[in-house]
Amino acid sequence: MPDAPSRAATVDFRHVTKRYDERLNNAPGAVNDLSLSVPAGRICVLVGPSGCGKTTSLKMVNRLIEPTSGQILIDGVDAATREVTELRRGIGYVIQQVGLFPHQTIGQNVVTVPRLLSWTKARQRARADELLATVGLDPARYRDRFPAQLSGGERQRVGVARALAADPPIMLMDEPFGAVDPIVRERLQNEFLRLQEELAKTILFVTHDIDEAIKMGDLVAVLQVGGKLAQFGTPDDILANPASEFVARFVGADRGLKRLSLSRVADLPLQAAVTARSGEGCGPARQRALADPFPYLLLVDDARRPIGWIRDGDIPLAGVLTESMAIPMSPLLNRRTTLKDALSMLLDADVQAGIVVDRAGAVEGLLTVEAIAERMRDTAGDTQYAGATTELVRDAHDGAEPGSGDRSAAAGPAGTPDAEAVEA
């Protein structure tokens, strides 16, 4: 096992079916002809109501559950052909209840897989400390504690550290943040996304929470009861073009708003701001302001940092602009602010234009509620459900009739239509 980050692996589900009862096709947890491809280094979220087979699908990857038929390929190799303990040691596994070993210290827990792989003691200890630090736990404080002495959030971090211990190319995460309170959950989600930017693991992530799916996923697979893949695509795709009424209902009537949380200020063209420096003469500033349709002038300091708004009509005919003329500022946005946050801040403000500033705090431009509303109109109101909406979905369903056993990957994009997704 190299210390350097291992290459991420691809995971391909090929017509994977799991039946628990031969007579029933959609017993809870069953999976029906699931085909999807997760590219290396991406987070794929499996989301759906309870009993939709999302956890079953996940557990078939590390063979805690064996498929009834079909194959799961990891980097092109059928998981069923690998020795099961060796396969599992190469796949990180995080579960909702964490499952730390209560009789081992945190440090010992973290290096469970390295221990199974017979790393030297010194290397195990170094790895444990490194990983605890990675997940934000001070090794000196936590290494020798027992799991019972940690909070739920801390235990969950240890669970993630443990899954990363042998640097597996794939991680399976089954509702990993489901058992902690919403505040801790959000923090863990954000930290994990930041971590993933460095790690670039291939991650399969199960949740029943569509908001978590949208937030965490590069790709989202929506499953419906009976273990059918209802839609597979990017979060934006699924929100913008739900493939069926089921998906539309599952993502919720506020999908337009949800979609805003996927876009950032940087994604929209900014409106130029008419600015004037404090101390500048009123006359020229007034002329500039009136020449622009936006009814406010933005007063800035010498570094172009915003001070406040002056209504065009309130600009004196003569004299100089002073800070006392300015009315309180709108919220400050930056290019990383999500449109959802921006909208919510703007709705609260007196002047409904967000001032977008750069890292130094200097004005870059304005973002208006209208601009955001424009963006929302792109998604709102469509009741037509697209069929297979993305390349990825077409890929996954390409080439073969379900169950035919033909796994030719060469078929063109005009392959078998996704009948199940369309008819719903």
Partner 1 sequence: MIRWEWIASNVDQLVEATVDHVVLTAVAVVVGFVLSFGLSVLIYRNRRLAGPITGSAGVLYTIPSLALFAFLVPFTGLSFLSAEIGLVSYTLLILVHNIVAGLDGVPADVREAADGMGYGRARRFLSVELPLALPLIVAGLRVATVTTIGLVMVAAVIGQGGLGQVMVRGFNFRNDTAVYTGAVLIVALAIVADLVLAGVGRLVTPWSRPRSR
> Is there binding between residue 162 and partner 1 (CB under 8 A)?
yes
Stretch binding partner 1 (CB under 8 A), from 147-155, 204-212, 273-281, 337-345:
147-155
Query: Nearest Cα to 45, choosing from 298, 237, 257, 285?
Result: 237
Query: Nearest Cα to 258, choosing from 211, 217, 213, 221?
Result: 211
Tokens describing residue 102: 């209560």
Q: Out of 49, 101, 138, 254, which residue is the one contacting partner 1 (CB under 8 A)?
A: 101
Residue type, 123: R
In angstroms, the CA 111 to CA 162 distance is 6
Q: Out of 172, 268, 310, 367, which residue is the one contacting partner 1 (CB under 8 A)?
A: 172
Q: Out of 104, 134, 278, 338, which residue is the one contacting partner 1 (CB under 8 A)?
A: 104
User: Up-side HSE of residue 268: CA atoms within 13 Å toward CB?
Assistant: 34
Q: How far is the CB of 146 from partner 1 (least distance, A)?
A: 4
Q: How far is the CB of 6 from partner 1 (least distance, A)?
A: 16
Q: Out of 9, 98, 164, 321, which residue is the one contacting partner 1 (CB under 8 A)?
A: 98
CB 36 within 8 A of CB 217: no
Contact residues for 187 (Cβ-Cβ < 8 A; gap 6+): 153
Residue 120, helix vs strand vs coil: coil
CB 10 within 8 A of CB 40: yes
Q: How far is the CB of 84 from partner 1 (least distance, A)?
A: 8
Question: How many residues touch partner 1 (CB under 8 A)?
Answer: 30
Q: Out of 9, 43, 95, 160, which residue is the one contacting partner 1 (CB under 8 A)?
A: 95
> Is there binding between residue 97 and partner 1 (CB under 8 A)?
yes
> Is there binding between residue 79 and partner 1 (CB under 8 A)?
no
Choose between 173 and 248: whose C-beta lies nearer to partner 1.
Answer: 173
Question: Given CA atoms 166, 170, 171, 174 in this order, what sign does their dihedral have?
Answer: negative
> Is there binding between residue 77 and partner 1 (CB under 8 A)?
no
Binding site for partner 1 (CB under 8 A): 62, 64, 84-89, 91, 93, 95-104, 112-113, 116, 145-149, 162, 172
